[in-house]
Amino acid sequence: MFSKDRLTDTLCAGYFPMLGVLTGDPKGLAMLERWRMFNMMYHIYELTSRPDLIKLLLSSFDYSRQGHHRILLSKALTAGTKEIRIHATNTLRKCTLRRVPSIDGRGELSDSRWAIQLLVTQLYDPEIEVCSTAVKILEKACNRKAYLAYIVECRPALDHLGEIGAPLLLRFLSTSIGYHYLDGLDYISNEMDDWFLGRNDSYVGLIEASLAKAFLTDTDEQHHRLSMFDEHEAETDYHDSHIPPHFYRELTRTQEGCKLLSDKGHFEEFANTIREHGMQSEDPELITKVKGCLWAVGNVGSMELGAPFLESTDMVEQIIKIATTHEVMSLRGTAFFVLGLISRSTHGLEILSEHGWDANTTLMGNSLGYCIPSDLSKLFSLAPWHHETPASIRLPESQCTIKEQPPPRPARPPLELSEMPPLVNDVAISERILELIVDLGNTVLYRKAVTELQKIKARKPMAFRSAEFFKMVMGLMEWNHYRLGVRRMVIDLFEKTVMRQIVFDEEESDSSEDDESSQVEAEGSASSGEDRDDRTERQRSISEPTEPSPNLIPAPLRVRRSEDQAMRGYAPGGPVINEDVLEFQQEME
């Protein structure tokens, strides 16, 4: 009945949700125990060849009550295969995020305490995928203060997880209990230095990718998605699933964290960076650093305890200036989002209203984090700029290969191969190569020029081994328009040793003797018989070995023809050995 085909093609899979309904009622649990159905389920868990049945059972159970189904889940979390352990860990998600009415009067935490304990145990699983899944679920559960306090009480060790466990440790900073726990592990000071020295800048790429993902997500898919429980109920605090946690935001949730931030002076450093480099638009590294400082200031200002930092540095006015007048649009967008973060605190909302910015609030007066100016023309105004065409762009003299533009080359009629002048010397070859490079800019002559350049490369490779000629070609291409693929093709024609000579300022005569011999051999293989005579005596001796001395060559065997064989009575096809051969063999012995 429960074969894979029947579970897929028929309604046999519907029996498992029925079992799940029975596990959610005391009478149903009693009936399952009476008919020993849990014994059958224990046997099913031993079937390693049917993970689909185990997944159906895990997904169908109602874990709101204590019973054998929780024991089965615990067994799958520890003794199952990697695939089953990951699925069982995901099953705990609904046990920690949905609200279940408590029957013992101790609050909703009593219903999920067992699930949190199992998730903490999963943090020590040997497979990193299982640990990562448990971290994500616990991080989501930290949105509720009661869950967060209990997770800290479990005192999980996350040192072995590295960056995977960092988001969960950041959530521990939200409470005084978690702050003191992490302070005892010497985590806060080390993490604070890491964020100040580099992690704050890397957060920029992470948050921009998360925002892009949030804007590209189809809202219709989210609204029509069915779920067994309401995930939005867990969002009691500001924790968007698309926004990665920020260290300074979590730090300023407590009085102890604000005191540490004030003693370190990091906020003042962020404010000074925004004042000094906030309006510059040339250096990409400085722009990234300013963005990182803006996100740090916004996350601190979004907390009620972070309001004194904004007031002491007067940062809001500077951020508004960046959001309305900056030339770089991505920096404008960052400042706009940061102002929305600042508007989430009551004090930040008051400061923004003084500067003519209004924020959307709920009926209770809480800001939703969306802030716009009263005069929208300030936000959407762009200063006129001068459009610079690619033809008008000039390299600085320090980057130019040649200082002056090369003289225009005289026009020449297209000639057939038979009409081409012979390439008798290096000057004629170099001149022909320059003509062909000029033809590469002509779409009509491009294919023919490429073919001829490849032929010259094969027959005369020495023409592409001169550093001076390479500079001449690069200068010609700098002052003319060529596609990127054409430029790469021309550079690839030259030997790699040419670039080494230019970069390390080596002499062309410093090339090794082996390189010279390989060059001459390559020319010899491609050239005619006359070109072979130009080789040196050493090269000729290597490629054409001398004949051995006549004294070292044994005398030829004299074997009679088939007529003699027939006269001696040998059968056709039989072995033939005459007297001379026998005498020779005896002499050798």
- Mean pLDDT comparison of 49-53, 239-243, 385-389, highest-scoring range: 49-53
pLDDT band at 107 (very low <50, low <70, confident <90, very high): very low
Give residues with Cβ within 8 angstroms of 68, minimum separation 6.
29, 32, 33, 38, 41
Asked whether residue 588 carries a pLDDT value surpassing 60, the answer given is no
What fold does the segment set 247-380 form as a domain? Answer: Leucine-rich Repeat Variant (1.25.10)
Mean pLDDT along residues 294-307: 92
**Do the first three CATH levels of 4-175 and 247-380 match, i.e. the same topology?**
yes
Taking CA 324 as the corner, what is the angle to CA 322 and CA 327, rounded to the nearest 5 degrees? 65
pLDDT band at 59 (very low <50, low <70, confident <90, very high): very high
Mean pLDDT along residues 252-260: 93
- Cα 552 → chain centroid: 68
Asked whether residue 221 carries a pLDDT value surpassing 50, the answer given is no
* Angstrom distance (rounded) from CA 20 to CA 43: 18
Token output for 176 = 């005084």
What fold does the segment set 4-175 form as a domain? Answer: Leucine-rich Repeat Variant (1.25.10)
Asked whether residue 184 carries a pLDDT value surpassing 80, the answer given is yes
| pLDDT attached to residue 391 | 65
| pLDDT attached to residue 135 | 94
Asked whether residue 369 carries a pLDDT value surpassing 80, the answer given is yes
* Angstrom distance (rounded) from CA 43 to CA 40: 5
**256-290 b/e with 16+ CB inside 10 Å = b?**
ebbebbeeeebbeebbebbeeebbeeeeeeebbbb
Asked whether residue 307 carries a pLDDT value surpassing 70, the answer given is yes
Mean pLDDT along residues 290-316: 91
pLDDT band at 237 (very low <50, low <70, confident <90, very high): very low
| pLDDT attached to residue 522 | 46
Query: Higher pLDDT residue, 334 or 535?
Result: 334
**CB-based contact 252:310 (threshold 8 Å):** no
Q: Where are the domains of the chain?
A: 4-175, 247-380, 415-503, 512-545
Token output for 495 = 């030997």
Q: Which residues on adjacent β-strands are paired with residue 359?
A: 371
pLDDT band at 418 (very low <50, low <70, confident <90, very high): low
pLDDT in tens, 563-585: 444 444 444 444 444 555 455 45
pLDDT band at 54 (very low <50, low <70, confident <90, very high): very high
pLDDT in tens, 196-216: 998 999 999 999 998 888 888
Residue type, position 469, single letter: F
R_g over Cα of the chain:
41
Asked whether residue 298 carries a pLDDT value surpassing 90, the answer given is yes
